[in-house]
Amino acid sequence: MKKLTGVGLGFRAKMADELIARSPEGIDFVEIHPENYVSRGGIFRRRLHAAMERWPVLTHGLTCGFGQTEPVDGEYLTSLTALLQEVNTPWHSEHLCFGGAGDTFVHDLLPLPPRPETLEVAAARFFEMQDRIGRPLSFENVSYYAPMSADPLDEARFCQSLIERGAKIMLDVNNVYVNSQNFGFDPREWINLIDLDAVVQMHVAGHEVREDGLRIDTHGEPVPDPVFELLEYTLRRSGPRAVLLERDNNIPELDTLLAELSRLREVYDRAIAQPRNLEARP
């Protein structure tokens, strides 16, 4: 199968029906959160099947953070695996974070201290999950608001260590940018620390800037210019990948979203039209 590349859109309940009815040009794939579809019927399943008839569907989980310390939830992984098979996703992604402790779920993506202990936990969990779901898995770097390390670039080194163990990354460019602004580092330096051959997919999104300057990763705003610039920088070094526009909150009219997707397409086409930049690789 040819590797999936191009630009895609997060498939969200609020705009799903219109997106299906219009089936506009220029969408190479859509992405779903499997938690919203596992063991769920009714209109959600119908929409999912309509999406599958039109586009390749990628899956992006929210609740199997690789930093969790309790054993993986085998029952959930069984239902998840069935769903991944149903939509035939070429790969699945989860976050390099934790989302609870024991049997308690916070329903948020909480940051991990980049330490050897965490790396062991995350690597073990990553490969166990990949074995269980029986298809390629990747981890997403998250945005965070409380400092995890004296040097914020330790996060990139931590991701790279996991890559060196054999994991693939679902690189969220907006998250790198948000963290760079909140913790004061050059986001390109962060990208330069990553082996971009290990990138299977990327995310771009918008975020909120609070009055005190703190940036919160809301996925509720248009993608700002510096995030597009960082994406272009990354794509020039990685070559073509699947790039998703994430919009989860404050979802605008579909035309507005499609206009943003066209802008993403322009950036994408421009970046991959140039010869690949192979400098500054780890």
**Both tokens assigned to 152:** 């914020």
**Chain center to CA of 141:** 8
Binding Fe ion by CB under 5 A: which of 47, 92, 125, 203? 203
Binding partner at 172 among another protein, Fe ion, none, C-beta below 5 to 8 Å by kind: Fe ion
Which lies closer to another protein via its Cβ, residue 74 or residue 104? 104
**What is the secondary structure of 137-199 as a DSSP string?**
EEEE----SS--SSSTTHHHHHHHHHHHTT-EEEEEHHHHHHHHHHHT--HHHHHHTS-GGGE
Contacted entry of Fe ion, another protein, none for residue 197, CB cut-off 5 to 8 Å set by kind: none
Q: Kindly tell me which of 156 and 199 has the beta carbon lying closer to another protein.
A: 156
Q: Which is nearer to another protein, 39 or 274 (CB)?
A: 39
**Beta-carbon count within 10 A of 23 CB:** 12
- Residue showing the smallest CB distance to Fe ion in the complex: 203
Compute how many residues bind Fe ion; rule: CB under 5 A.
Answer: 2
With binding defined as CB under 5 A, does residue 237 bind Fe ion? no
Pick the stretch among 47-55, 172-180, 220-228, 271-279 that binds Fe ion (CB under 5 A). 172-180
Smallest gap from residue 32 Cβ to another protein (A): 14
Q: Which is nearer to Fe ion, 220 or 276 (CB)?
A: 220
Torsion angle of the four alpha carbons 263, 264, 270, 274, in this order, in degrees rounded to the nearest 10: 170
Q: How far is the CB of 27 from another protein (least distance, A)?
A: 24
DSSP bridge pairs for 242:
6, 201
Q: How far is the C-alpha of 209 from the C-alpha of 216, rounded, in Å? A: 6
We find the least distance from the C-beta atom of residue 100 to another protein, in angstroms, to be 6
Query: What residues does 10 pair with on adjacent strands?
Result: 31
- 3: partner contacted, choices Fe ion, another protein, none (Cβ within 5-8 A by kind): none
Please provide the DSSP assignment of 227-275 as one string.
HHHHHHHHHHHH-S-EEEEE--SS---HHHHHHHHHHHHHHHHHHHHSP
**Residues near another protein, by CB under 8 A:** 35-36, 38-46, 63, 67-69, 73, 76, 98-108, 110, 112-113, 115, 117-118, 121, 145-150, 214, 216
